Every structure is written in C-alpha cells, then in structure tokens.
C-alpha cells in the first residue's frame, strides 16, 4: 500500500504559519509586501463575510483581476469551507449549458487589490453560519476547475478538500519546500496550476511572488521578476519553457541564480531539450505530470535524462498516490492506459454522473469504495520501473481507414535535421491528408507553406520511419507554436493559419518584392516572413500587428545583426516595426 501523506486541512497550515511567522512575507507584489499577519486579517474579513452570506453547500465564483486578489480569495474560501470556481477564459455555460455560472451561490469580485465585494445569488441561502468548530469533512468540495478541452471538450471537475490537502502535503514533501522558498504565481487563474503556485509554498511558510497582470510572463519579464524578487521556484508549461529556453540561448543568458527549481509540464517534453538544458548547467528541472481530475499534479521527475533516452519519465507519484498501467480490458500491463489512484483522486464531473462513472472506476488495488481515475494517457512502463508518456487515447487521427497517434508522427518529423518542433493536424479541407506545422531556424522560405522540393525531401525522410498513409502531405513553417490561455498547443489556431497561408499563396504571385525596395529591405522582409510563418507580409506591414512578439523580435534582431554585421537591437524593431523602416535604420548604422 502506498505511503499516506500527513495531510492536515490547509487552513491549519495557514494558522500555524500566521502564529509562528506573523511578520514574514506571505505575498510579494511589486513594492508591496503582505506579511502572514496582514494577509490573515484580510482573509479573515473575507471568511466572515462568506460564512454570513453563502450556504455551506454552495459554490463561490471568483472574479479576480489581479494575482494578489486571486491568492487571497482562495485562502478566504478555504478558511470559510466554501468551494470556489475561478472565472476562466471559457465559462461553464460553454462547457455545459445546464451548469451556468448562475448556479454559483455568490460571486467574489476584486474591485481593487485585496478589496472584495460579495454578490449573493437570489436563490442562495443567507442564514448566518458560525466558523466550523473543526476541519471540514475531507469529502466536502474544495473547488471546481473546468478542464482545458484538450481531451474531449471542457468539463467542470470537482475536487474535494481531502484531495487538495493530500496534494499540498505531497508537493511540500516532494520538492522539499521551506520558509526560504519564493514561488512565482505565473499561471492564468483558469489553470489549476495557479493553486500549485500558492498553496504548497504558503503551507510551508514560504512566499508567493505575484507579478502584475494576469497572463503568463514572456521570457524577458520572467527573467526580470525572478531576478528582482529572489524567486526560487517557477512553473512553466512545456511550450512556455521552450520559449524561455530559446530566449535564453538567443540572449546568451542563464536563469537567475536565485532559482533553485524550474517545474515544467502539461504536454509531452522533448528529451533532447531536457538534456541540452542540463548539459548547460542551468537550474535543475522537475518534470511534472498531473490531471485536473486528480488535484493538479500527481508526480515529479527530478532526475537527469541520459544520452540516448528518447523520453522523459513521468517520475515518482506524490505520497498517497499510485500509478498502474492497464490494457483495454482493464488488466495490468506494461503498456496501456495510465490509472491514478489514491488520496488525490477528485470527486468527479459536476452534474455528469455518467461520465464520472466511466472515468472514475473502482480501484482494483484499493480498499472498498476507493476509486481510480482513468487518465486517457497511453504510457509504457520501462524495465527500470519508470513510466513514460506515449500518446492520448483520444488524440489519434484516422487516415484512410488507419489510426495513429499524432505524437508518433510528430516524433518522426522532429527527427529531421533543423526541425525543432512539429505539430500535426488534419488538413482543414482535405481530411485524408495531414499537415505538419514545424518550427525551425533554417527550414522554410518565409512563405509558411514550404517549397515543393523541400517538402518532398522532408516527406521522403519521414517516410523511412512511417507508413505511407501517415506521412504528412504538407509542411508548414511557423515562427512559434501558438498556445491556448493554459499554455498548451492551440491546434485550431494552427489550422486557421495554415488555411490562410494556403489561400494567399494560391491567390498571390510568389515573386519577391519589387527591386525598388532595395536588397536589404527584401532580405529583412524574407526574415519577417520566415519567423512569422506568413507569406502575405509586405515591406510596410507592422511586424507586431502581423503576429510578432518579444521572442520572435529577439530572433529577428539577432539574425539581422549576425547577417549584416551591424548592431540591431530589439528596441530598434519596436521603434521601426516594418521591414522597410528597419532596413533603412540598418543601412544608416555605422
């Protein structure tokens, strides 16, 4: 039987830290420091307001506009024993019409940082309630988060206080959190990782670092905040980590010295990137794996990736959690679907008992009444006992009667020289054809859709390891992989960009810009098109309006500086955002 965590109710952790360390910083935001005692006074007022206005069985919607308010609102709800539902980029209306936000007993609105208004629904109970005499029941709901929709559409998931408490205890134990730690609150509130970025470190007596804004920081801002605030732990999605790593390498920088751990996860991780990161002696990595249905995170891999390892392990489960691998008949196997059981398994899908029964099944190794969550992730258990991710059961593509996991094709494409990342989608207009969107520093001619000769060369190379029907028919060069609010690959955006590029390539003459623009203008324009993955950008089009960002601007300025032998700064591109104006600036440089 797996070892159980010492999981006390989270407010008990909080009261202990307030008592022992009242003047220690709990939250840092800009120049503002909220001590444990100050944060306790704010959340006590919020707790008391909730106890007097919200029914015990009710849910509270969180409508926060800044990170400090989000952290304080979560603390207040947990102390009141009221389950919370953060406002997300989608609403429960879009996930399931019958579960609209009107089902919430109340809404907490942060009118300003750490100032809250509570609006109670007309149908909610308003009886006064005293603070609970003891910790709430472990089976009581703690929160509801709506899954991202990457696995069958958005679904509202309810997690109990017991599962949340076990998760917090497991993370504190696994990562060795202490009062010396400062964890960056970087994820958007609609992503349950936002809870991982505040609750465990506060339970350990550490500090939450809250930058301004609500969206994840881009690499320059991330680097600055970590350095200025002495941040020790940062968590990034896989895609955001790729961007941060690329930016560091382009800038010839290293992560700030205060950073002791960089937690990365959310999607399949490239082993070669993990190896390159560790070989450069950068901050130690923690590869995290988890699901919304099992209280945020379930395992961490804190080891190294050896030369030749094709995959990064999912790591060791948190205390109180257990991984088993099952075939399609539910029998244990070395390869198959990953099941998670133990203390952090959630309650199920709000208002959907049928789906809950299908995904939350009796735990074959647990005590009576215990359940396991079927993740839908296909994994393989290695001879050394480690488990590696292979694909999603619901992420398979059917092509000409055959089924194959996207990840299998993407891995094959990523083996090609000069290809950094590959994302495979079905052709928007031809479902029997596949499109491989790639990021690359060399492949591509700036038109998005690769030239026929280069695409054919890539098809032949991929065909050496895949059946003919699984080889992508189109290769599409993109400057960077677009992501959703939660930092996961946005395949819909890629499909839209591909369709747009195809239409414009077919509608336009593929010729170079008029020679009157000048050779350097033409060269700069080709580079703009390459990093943006767009064929339709013209010499007078604004780089940033066409989809550029700070990361792509770094690539452009770095490339132009190397290729022209003249100084080109990122600020030059911000001040001269068209190919024509930037080329004229470079021509006038000494």
**Residue ranges of the chain assigned to CATH 3.30.300.30:** 396-507
Q: Spell out the residues 6+ positions from residue 299 whose beta carbon is closer than 8 angstroms to its own.
A: 288, 289, 290, 314, 315, 316, 317, 318, 321, 323
Q: Which CATH class is domain 515-587?
A: mainly alpha
Digit-coded pLDDT (tens) for 541-559? 888 777 777 777 888 888 8
How far lies 319's CA from each of 141, 166, 476, in Å? Answer: 21, 8, 44
Of residues 64, 147, 92, 244, the one with CA closest to residue 484: 147
Q: Spell out the residues 6+ positions from residue 457 whose beta carbon is closer than 8 angstroms to its own.
A: none
| DSSP codes, 223-279 | HHHHHHHT--EEEEEHHHHHHHHHHHHHHT----TT--EEEEESS---HHHHHHHHH
Architecture category of domain 10-123+141-381 in CATH = 3-Layer(aba) Sandwich (3.40)
Q: What is the mean pLDDT of residues 41-63?
A: 85
Of residues 26, 46, 45, the one with CA closest to residue 36: 26
**Residue ranges of the chain assigned to CATH 1.10.1200.10:** 515-587
Digit-coded pLDDT (tens) for 132-155? 444 446 789 999 998 755 455 678
Architecture category of domain 396-507 in CATH = 2-Layer Sandwich (3.30)
Q: What is the mean pLDDT of residues 68-79?
A: 95
CB of 159 closer than 8 Å to CB of 347: yes
**Residue ranges of the chain assigned to CATH 3.40.50.12780:** 10-123+141-381
What is the dihedral sign for C-alpha 149, 153, 156, 158?
A: negative
DSSP structure class, residue 473:
S
Q: What is the pTM of this model?
A: 0.74
Digit-coded pLDDT (tens) for 377-436? 999 998 888 899 987 777 777 676 666 778 888 888 988 887 888 999 888 877 667 899
């Amino acid at each position: 039987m797996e070892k159980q965590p010492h999981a006390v109710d989270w407010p008990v952790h909080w009261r202990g830290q307030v008592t022992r360390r009242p003047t220690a910083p709990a939250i840092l935001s800009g120049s503002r420091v909220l001590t444990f005692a100050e944060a306790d006074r704010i959340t006590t007022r919020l707790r008391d307001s909730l106890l007097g206005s919200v029914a015990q069985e009710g849910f509270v919607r969180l409508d926060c506009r800044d990170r400090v308010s989000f952290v304080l609102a979560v603390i207040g709800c947990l102390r009141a024993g009221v389950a919370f539902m953060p406002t997300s980029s989608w609403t429960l209306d879009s996930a399931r019409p019958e579960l609209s936000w009107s089902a919430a007993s109340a809404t907490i609105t942060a009118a300003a940082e750490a100032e809250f208004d509570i609006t109670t629904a007309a149908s909610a109970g308003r009886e006064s309630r005293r603070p609970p005499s003891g910790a709430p029941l472990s089976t009581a709901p703690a929160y509801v988060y709506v899954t991202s929709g990457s696995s069958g559409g958005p679904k509202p998931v309810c997690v109990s206080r017991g599962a949340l408490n076990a998760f917090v205890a497991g993370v504190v134990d696994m990562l060795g959190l202490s009062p010396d730690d400062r964890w960056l609150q970087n994820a958007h509130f609609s992503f349950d990782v936002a809870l991982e970025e505040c609750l465990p470190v506060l339970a350990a007596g550490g500090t939450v670092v809250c930058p301004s804004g609500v969206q994840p920081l881009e690499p320059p801002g991330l680097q600055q905040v970590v350095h200025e605030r002495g941040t020790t732990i940062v968590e990034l999605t896989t895609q955001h980590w790729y961007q941060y790593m690329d930016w560091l390498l382009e800038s010839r920088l290293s992560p700030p010295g205060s950073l002791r751990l960089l937690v990365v996860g959310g999607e399949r991780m490239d082993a070669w990137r993990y190896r390159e990161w560790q070989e450069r002696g950068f901050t130690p990595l923690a590869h995290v794996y988890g699901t919304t249905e099992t209280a945020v995170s379930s395992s961490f891999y804190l080891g190294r990736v050896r030369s030749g390892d094709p995959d990064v392990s999912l790591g060791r489960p948190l205390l109180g959690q257990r991984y088993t691998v099952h075939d399609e008949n539910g029998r244990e196997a070395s390869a198959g679907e990953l099941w998670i059981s133990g203390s952090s398994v959630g309650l199920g899908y709000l208002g959907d008992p049928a789906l809950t029964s299908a995904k939350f099944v009796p735990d074959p190794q647990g005590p009576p009444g215990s359940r396991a969550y079927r993740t839908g992730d296909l994994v393989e258990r290695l001879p050394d006992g480690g488990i590696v991710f292979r694909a999603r059961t619901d992420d398979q593509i059917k092509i000409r009667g055959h089924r194959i996991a996207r990840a299998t094709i993407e891995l094959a494409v990523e083996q090609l020289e000069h290809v950094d990342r590959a994302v495979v989608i079905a052709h928007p207009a031809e479902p029997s054809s596949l499109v491989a969107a790639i990021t690359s520093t060399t492949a591509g001619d700036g038109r998005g859709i690769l030239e026929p000769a280069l695409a054919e060369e890539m098809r032949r190379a991929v065909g050496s390891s895949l059946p003919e029907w699984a080889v992508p028919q189109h290769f599409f060069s993109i400057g960077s992989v677009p992501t959703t609010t939660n930092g996961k690959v946005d395949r819909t955006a890629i499909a839209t960009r591909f369709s747009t590029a195809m239409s414009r390539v077919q509608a336009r003459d593929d010729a170079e810009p008029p020679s009157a623009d000048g050779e350097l203008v033409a060269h700069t324009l080709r580079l703009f098109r390459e990093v943006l993955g767009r064929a339709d950008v013209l010499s007078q089009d604004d780089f940033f309006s066409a989809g550029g960002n700070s990361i792509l601007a770094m690539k452009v300025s770095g490339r132009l500086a190397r290729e022209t032998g003249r100084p080109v700064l990122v600020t030059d591109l911000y001040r001269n955002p068209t190919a024509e104006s930037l080329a004229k600036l470079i021509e006038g440089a000494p």
